[in-house]
Amino acid sequence: MKLVRPLLTQLHAYMPGEQPKMKGLIKLNTNENPYPPSPKVLRTVKAAVDGRLRLYPNPTAHELRKKLAKLHHCATENIIIGNGSDELLALATRAFVEPKAASTAEFSRSTVQYFTPSYSLYPVLAEIHGSRQNAVPLRADFSLPSPRELKRDRQWDFKAALSFITTPNAPTGRGYSAAELRALCKAQQGVVILDEAYVDFAQEDAQRLALEFPHVLVSRTFSKAYSLCFQRIGYFIGHPLLIAALDKVRDSYNVNGLGQIAALATLSDLPYYLRNFRRIIATREQLRRELTGLGFAVLPSQANFLFTKPPCFPAGEWLKKLRSRKVLVRWFNSDTGRDYLRITIGSEREAAMLLRAVRSILK
């Protein structure tokens, strides 16, 4: 007798970037922030480790939602917190998408839609749910096709139950303007999630679209810009009807107590983080110039990583050569990603060590 659903035996699970045990590696592969949480955040979390660990945390992360609502000029009912934004992306698939189409007329109801290349978790979520996937290529330069182009020469479904748009995009780093995102949201009938995991490193955000359109959600995380991957805190902003639907399918205690405390402390120390954003952006621009000078084709980036086509050897070779020099970057062996490396922006020192390794490979 089969103990596991056939759907799972065939599943291509999500492949997270490596968290190596080896000491002394320069880790530029998972878009983590090179700078630690602020001293105040660390103090607050340490002070919270006491007898209260025996209690359940606040089930709705109420204080955190209240504070985020104030920050984003909306109501507490517009916000839901997740165990990382990844959890909320999974909840959205369960809340808005039919696992199987009853008939061809119902195809859109069971369709999860996204552009390629973008975040490789989306197809996995669709697969787990058993729903249909519609992967639509971006333009050749990785920019966003207009609604008219999508209608004319791409198989985009304007009625898809759920569409994920990563902005700024990963792994390309390209930012999309709020104007072009608004045009796409306006043409779309199903739920749209604007995944803004990297938005703090961008010139523009699209947050207002979540309050303007009842079918648009904006996804944010404390992981990348706020140095808090370890604590797993993400959130959605959107219409109370969609937020309430997500709230129905989440676990009662999905957000751990120390995470809630860490995120709250983060929000009361924002200037520290703003300084780090500026520093990371400055390192990004300098690294882009230096790599370009060494023959790399580097895409402009609005995120905390660069997407680049390296010279002389295939990207997969570069991955190995850099690793043997103790520098870890990310390579996606997919049709659209195979020729590129994705390099996380580390500290100034890490950027210098990366450049040293690159020069020694080119010698």
Ligand X SMILES: *Cc1c(COP(=O)(O)O)cnc(C)c1O
Residue numbers at the binding site for ligand X (CB under 6 A): 84-86, 119, 166, 170, 195, 197, 221, 223-224, 229, 234
Neighbours of 148 (CB within 10 A): 10
Q: How far is the CB of 168 from ligand X (least distance, A)?
A: 9
Q: How far is the CB of 170 from ligand X (least distance, A)?
A: 4
**Total residue count of the chain as it appears in this document:** 363
d(CA 64, CA 79): 9
Among residues 227 and 283, whose Cβ is nearest to ligand X? 227
Q: How far is the CB of 233 from ligand X (least distance, A)?
A: 7
Largest CA distance in the chain: 61
First to last CA, the chain: 59
Among residues 76 and 166, whose Cβ is nearest to ligand X? 166
Among residues 194 and 281, whose Cβ is nearest to ligand X? 194
Give the torsion through C-alpha atoms of 172, 173, 178, 183, to 10 deg. 0
Q: Which residue is nearest to ligand X (CB)?
A: 84
Q: How far is the CB of 134 from ligand X (least distance, A)?
A: 18
Among residues 68 and 357, whose Cβ is nearest to ligand X? 68
Element (H, E) at 221: strand 216-221
Among residues 196 and 358, whose Cβ is nearest to ligand X? 196
Q: How far is the CB of 121 from ligand X (least distance, A)?
A: 7
Among residues 109 and 195, whose Cβ is nearest to ligand X? 195
Residues 6+ apart with CB under 8 A from 319: 329, 331, 341
Pairing of strands 191-195, 216-221: parallel
Q: How far is the CB of 278 from ligand X (least distance, A)?
A: 21
- For residue 107, what is the DSSP state? G
Among residues 224 and 321, whose Cβ is nearest to ligand X? 224
Q: How far is the CB of 197 from ligand X (least distance, A)?
A: 4
Among residues 85 and 188, whose Cβ is nearest to ligand X? 85
Q: How far is the CB of 230 from ligand X (least distance, A)?
A: 10
Q: Angle CA(277)–CA(281)–CA(286) in degrees, nearest 5?
A: 150
Sheet holding 79-83, edge to edge: 79-83, 233-237, 216-221, 191-195, 162-166, 111-116, 132-137
What is the C-alpha radius of gyration for the chain, rounded to an integer number of angstroms? 21
d(CA 37, CA 350): 18
